Amino acid sequence: MGCLVETRADILEYLLHKTPRINLDLPAVNPEANTTDLTPLHVACMEGNTRAAESLLEFGANSELRTATWTPLHLSVLGQRHTMAEMLLKRRAVDINAQDQDGRTALYMAAEL
C-alpha cells in the first residue's frame, strides 16, 4: 500500500491494469503491517490521494466497507481531506448516513472539527 501513501497513483494504476481479478476489499496481506483492517481505499482516502481512490473505485473497490469503526468517507473527514470527501460525495459512492460505532455520521464529524 506504499503507492497509496506516497501518492504514486501511476504505480497503483499500472498494478490494477496488470493484476486480473484483484480483490480490492481485503486489508493488507501482512497482518503485522495492517492491524486496523484498512483496505486500499481506506488508505487512499485517509492520505488524501484522490487519484488513487478514483482508480480503486473504477476497478471496483467497495466504498461502503468500514474498518471496525469508519467508512472511507469518515476517514476523509477525520483527515480533513476535503477534496477526497467531495469526490466521494459527487460520485455518490458512499452512504452519507453511515454511522461509526458512536453513532456519528461523517457530517456530524465534520461539524465537530
Instruction: Average the pLDDT over 14-19 and give the result.
Output: 68
> Given this model, what pLDDT does residue 3 score?
44
pLDDT at 100 > cutoff 60: yes
Q: Is there a domain that residue 82 lies in?
A: yes
Give the pLDDT confidence of 19-46 residue by residue, as tens digits.
766 666 655 554 555 556 788 889 889 8
DSSP assignment of 66-99 = --SS--HHHHHHHTT-HHHHHHHHHTT-S-TT--
Instruction: Specify the number of domains making up the chain.
Output: 1
Q: Output the pLDDT for position 92.
A: 87
31 within a domain of the structure (yes/no): no
Tell the residue number behind the cell numbers 484522490, with chain if given: 50
Q: Looking at this protein, which amino acid is placed at residue 68?
A: A
Predicted TM-score of the model (pTM): 0.75
CATH of the domain at 60: 1.25.40.20
Structural domain boundaries enclosing 76: 2-25+37-112
Q: How does residue 2 score in pLDDT terms, banded at 50, 70 and 90?
A: very low
